[in-house]
Chains A and B, each alone.
Chain A
Amino acid sequence: MNAGDLAAGAPNASGQAADLFAGVAAHGHRHLDEVARDLIQMDALLEAAIGKLSTAFLALHDTVARQQAVLEQSLQDGCAVVGCSEAQHRLRGEIERQVAAAVTSLQFQDMASQLIGRMAGHLGGVRQIFDTLDTHAAAFAVHEPALAPLTERLALHGATLAAHAPRQVVQHGLEHGDIELF
């Protein structure tokens, strides 16, 4: 085995650190790319679901109002009026169509839940990477001046994240919120 083979088979400390960082970065990126993709998909699902639900709700409201008007008219004119019966039948069909659209839209929760489960899995993967680094941190006791700028940058990123992170969403349901008058 010559010197070149040895270098390729057993990289020096700097080479090992470079491989480690490249591996961590690649692994972390893979997880985060999946999370980003799932978030975009969930956003699209939510938008589609809420859009459909809003349309169905407004259409139902409008149809029920028209149904009421037809009912009142038929009570005034007597129930045997053919036109009233046809109008009732048509409105009933419209209501059924809108309810079906709402039923389809309401299933977004099931898909959103699966996406959230996937994202939680990927975030768990990222956590495992950091846990592994943390567990083996003692190995970095080797004097490595090149790591100092990296440590400083990480500290800066941490401070920026803490300063600019949006507040957490506190709602856990869709019950209406309290009203407070000052």
Chain B
Amino acid sequence: MSKTILAVDDSGSLRQMLTFSLKAAGYGVIEAVDGRDGLAKAKQQTVDLVLTDQNMPGMDGLSLIRALRGMKKYQKVPILMLTTESDDAIKAEGRAAGATGWLVKPFDPDRLTEVVQQLIG
């Protein structure tokens, strides 16, 4: 059974590119348009990995990570931040919130799937 990834980003084109790249690598993808939508979808079903943007209206990526890490079923699930931001302070904040890794946009599809494979097979 293929692993499922939750892709959270307010940019429609970015979600499209993520879904295209991850499905081509054999993963199932659930899309969410912001942190709140991501949290609701993560509650509805269990996913194997979460990929989230940082800057989103409503609920940002760091808040989403904190909320997910507060749920028992997401304490060990890998969560990757995929964002344009790359300064050390926000990365440290992401790490403290419980992010598993930090990817800076734009992403390279091959590199992304390599990282995902490394984390969830």
Partner among A107, A113, A114 whose Cβ is within 8 Å of the Cβ of B17: A107
Q: In the complex, are the beta carbons of A110 and B20 less than 8 A apart?
A: no
8 Å CB contacts to B: which residues of A18-74? none
B68 to chain A, nearest CB (A): 22
Check A110/B105 contact, CB under 8 A, given A103-B17, A103-B21. yes
B86: Cβ under 8 A from any A Cβ: no
Inter-chain contact B13/A111, CB cutoff 8 Å? no
By a CB distance below 8 angstroms, the chain B residues around A113 are 11
Interface size on A, residues (CB 8 A): 13
Chain A residues, CB < 8 A from B109:
99-100, 103-104
Instruction: Using C-beta atoms within 8 Å of the partner chain, give the interface range for chain B.
Output: 10 to 19
Inter-chain contact B55/A104, CB cutoff 8 Å: no
Complex-state Cα separation, A146 to B14, whole angstroms: 55
Indicate whether B84 reaches chain A with its CB closer than 8 angstroms: yes
Nearest Cβ distance between residue B8 and chain A, in whole angstroms?
13
A67-104 CB contact bits vs B (8 Å, 1 = yes)?
Answer: 00000000000000000000000000000000110011
Do the beta carbons of A111 and B110 come within 8 Å of each other?
A: no
A114 to B11, CA, bound (A): 10
A104 touching B107, Cβ below 8 Å: yes
Q: How far is the CB of B59 from chain A (nearest CB, A)?
A: 17
A106: interface (CB < 8 Å): yes
A111 touches B84 (CB 8 A): yes
Bound Cα distance from A106 to B105, whole angstroms: 11
CA–CA, A109 and B11, complex, Å: 8
Chain B residues with CB below 8 A from A111, complex form: 84, 105-106
Least distance between B110 CB and chain A CB atoms (Å): 6
From A99, A100, A107, B105 is in contact (CB under 8 Å) with A107
Which B residues contact A (CB, under 8 angstroms)?
9, 11, 13-14, 17, 20-21, 55, 84, 105-110
